[in-house]
Amino acid sequence: MKVAKFGGSSLANGAQIQKVIDIIKSDSNRRIVVVSAPGKRKDTDTKVTDLLIKYCNTVSQGEDITGIQNKIIKRYQAIAGHFGLPDTALEPIVEGITKLATQVFPSRAYQMAAFKAAGENNNAKLIAAIFNHQQIPAEYLDPKTIGLTVTDVPDDAQILPSSYEKLAQTLTQRTKVAVVPGFFGYNTSGEVCTFSRGGSDVTGAILARAVAATEYENFTDVDAIYAANPNIVPNPKKITNLTFREMRELSYAGFSVFHDEALIPAIEGKIPVVVKNTNHPSLPGTLISEHKKINHDDVVAGIASDSGFTGIYIRKYLMNKQVGFTLKLLEILAKLNISYEHMPSGIDDLTIIIRSNQLTPELETQIRAEIESEIHPDDFQIQHNYTMVMIVGEGIQDRVGTMAAATASIAQAGVSIVMVNHGASPVSITFGIRTADADAAVQGLYDTFIAHQPIEIFAEKTF
Residue where one domain finishes, among candidates 221, 240, 257: 221
Number of domains the chain is built from: 2
pLDDT tens digits along 285-336: 999 999 998 887 888 999 999 999 999 999 999 888 888 888 999 999 999 9
Residue 292 falls inside a structural domain: no
Nearest CA to 352 among 323, 322, 318, 386?
386
Residue 273 falls inside a structural domain: no
Least confident of 196-210, 354-368, 412-426: 412-426
Give strand pairing partners of 30.
Answer: 2
Phi/psi of residue 236, nearest 5 degrees: -70, 160
The pLDDT-based confidence of 457 (bands split at 50, 70, 90) is low
Residue 160 parent element (H or E): none
Mean pLDDT of the chain: 92
Q: Give all strands (DSSP E) within 348-456, no chain letters.
A: 349-355, 379-392, 417-422, 428-434
Q: Same domain, yes or no, for 193 and 315? A: no
pLDDT tens digits along 46-70: 999 999 999 999 999 999 999 999 9
Q: CA-to-CA distance for 90 and 13, rounded, in angstroms?
A: 15
- Beta 2-6 vs 215-220: how paired, if at all? parallel
Q: What is the CATH number of the domain that holds 363?
A: 3.30.2130.10
Q: Is the pLDDT of residue 369 over 60?
A: yes
Residue 169 falls inside a structural domain: yes
**Surface-to-core class of residue 63, CB atoms within 10 Å of its CB (0-12 exposed, 13-18 middle, 19+ buried):** exposed
Q: Same domain, yes or no, for 306 and 210? A: no
Nearest CA to 450 among 302, 339, 310, 342?
302
Q: Is the pLDDT of residue 463 over 70?
A: no
Residue where one domain finishes, among candidates 221, 245, 265: 221
Residue 248 falls inside a structural domain: no
Q: Same domain, yes or no, for 306 and 199? A: no
The parent domain of residue 356 ranges over 302-453
Residue 133 falls inside a structural domain: yes
Instruction: Read off the pTM.
Output: 0.87
Q: Same domain, yes or no, for 216 and 317? A: no
Q: Are 199 and 193 in contact (CB under 8 A)?
A: no
Q: Same domain, yes or no, for 176 and 72? A: yes
Q: Same domain, yes or no, for 6 and 141? A: yes
Q: Same domain, yes or no, for 91 and 188? A: yes
pLDDT tens digits along 3-15: 999 999 999 999 9
Q: What is the CATH number of the domain that holds 210?
A: 3.40.1160.10
CA distance between the termini of the chain: 59
246 vs 5, 195, 268, 287, 396, CA distance in Å? 21, 23, 15, 12, 11
Q: CA-to-CA distance for 35 and 360, rounded, in angstroms?
A: 37
What is residue 297's predicted lDDT score, i.e. its pLDDT?
A: 80
Residue where one domain finishes, among candidates 176, 202, 221: 221
Residue 461 falls inside a structural domain: no
pLDDT tens digits along 150-178: 999 999 999 999 999 999 999 998 899 99
Residue 213 falls inside a structural domain: yes
pLDDT tens digits along 107-153: 999 999 999 999 999 999 999 999 999 999 999 999 999 999 999 99
Residue 256 falls inside a structural domain: no
Q: Same domain, yes or no, for 182 and 328? A: no
Residue 262 carries which side chain, given as an amino acid letter? A
